[in-house]
Structure 1
Amino acid sequence: MTGHRSWRPTRRRLTGALAAALAPVAACSVALGALTTWVSTGNAGSPPRVVVTDGRLWASLGDTPETSAYFRITNLGGADDRLLKVTSGAVTGTPALYGHRMLTDNTATDQEIDSIIAPAGRTVDMSPGTYTVILPADRDLRPGDLVPFTLHFEYEGPVQVQALVQPAGTAPS
């Protein structure tokens, strides 16, 4: 075994090995710190938690065959949810979801949509300029009446809320 040297650690070899090991350790530490922050703020794996408030239903106006209902949808959870439909045993016909869309600078349209996104940690304020629930007009409803609605979400499931009947065109109270 002549001419074969045994391996010996030198300062240069140790420094190189330490530098090679520190890069992945530092990357893992940064990732672990970010993950710990995300978990400690309550966002890790938290499902949608939807709260519906400020329901209002516009009273019928003249011979108009339809009217509108609006709600404030707040998702307190860490994941998005979707409003799929709105129902009410107190009104005739089937309520439908509509979205407002600008076509040009001074023209817009409302069109039926399949769902409304309820983003995690955010609030959706339904209004004539955003989203609307369109339903057949009920001539018997008067301002001050309360009408029960159920909003059906993809993950949260059904959420029940009362809508206050208001004169058509009034802002949320």
Structure 2
Amino acid sequence: MPRRTRNTRLADVLWAVVPPLGASVGALAVLAGYAATGAAGDPPPRVRVVDARVIAAPAGSGATRAYFEIRNTGPSTDTLLYADSPELGISILRRTVSRNGSELTDSVKAVEVPAGGTVRMTPGGLMVGILDPPVLKAGQQVPYLLWFKQSGKVAVRATVVEAVPVR
């Protein structure tokens, strides 16, 4: 009976192709896992919000404002997209600007927080405008959420402070 021989040519080709193909598939799986963790690309920003305060709103007041200090100790820029509080009225990012000798406030779409930098919201500058706030008393704590493009939601407790009279 004739002896069957293997197709050695096909076996040789398979033994030549399988190891590099397997290594490529393994490397691709590792890279996909690395990218899925968020570790690929630029290192993430590290945002911290401090000095959170809301100006006390007297009864019948149609608006007030909140101020925050945002510190980014990370190596990448982040962007503040908006801020809101479940206990207050509508919040809007605003900036005071001078136009024709008058101080006006404009809406701001977003605020860039540079890598290794700080953004300080101050009267006469950047702020969060609050429309239709409830009556707020000095010393009260109010939850606030600041939403960032990279860092996501950052929750803080803002202290209600009395308004400083303008001279």
Same fold per TM (> 0.5)? Answer: yes
Q: 1:89-168 counterparts in 2 under 5 A?
A: 89-91=86-88, 93-104=89-100, 106-168=101-163
TM-aligned CA deviation for residue 137 of structure 1: 4.3
Q: Residue in 2 aligned with 1:60?
A: 57
- Secondary structure in 2 matching 1:95: strand
CA, structure 1 residues 140+63, in 2 after alignment: closer, same or farther (shift >3 Å)?
Answer: closer
Q: Percent identity?
A: 34
Output one character per residue of 1:36-64: Cα deviation in whole Å (capped at 9) or x when no partner: xxxxxxxx933211100110000114643
Q: How many residues align?
A: 125
Q: Distance in 1 between matches of 2:44 and 2:58?
A: 41
TM-align CA RMSD: 1.8
Q: Residue in 1 aligned with 2:7?
A: none
Q: Distance in 2 between matches of 1:88 and 1:111?
A: 20
Q: Distance in 2 between matches of 1:89 and 1:121?
A: 30
Q: Is 1:69 aligned to residue 66 of structure 2?
A: yes
- Secondary structure in 1 matching 2:138: coil
Kept in 2, the 8 Å contact 1:56–1:166? The answer is yes
Output one character per residue of 1:85-132: Cα deviation in whole Å (capped at 9) or x when no partner: 1111111x321100122224x432211111111111111110122211
- Secondary structure in 2 matching 1:82: strand
Q: Distance in 2 between matches of 1:140 and 1:108?
A: 26
TM-aligned CA deviation for residue 78 of structure 1: 1.1
Q: Is 1:47 aligned to residue 44 of structure 2?
A: yes
Q: Distance in 1 between matches of 2:70 and 2:126?
A: 11
Q: Which of 79, 82, 85 pairs up with 1:82?
A: 79
Runs (4+) off by over 4 Å:
none
Unaligned runs of 5+ in 1: 1-43
Q: Distance in 2 between matches of 1:67 and 1:137?
A: 8
Kept in 2, the 8 Å contact 1:61–1:168? The answer is no
Structure 2 length-normalised TM: 0.69
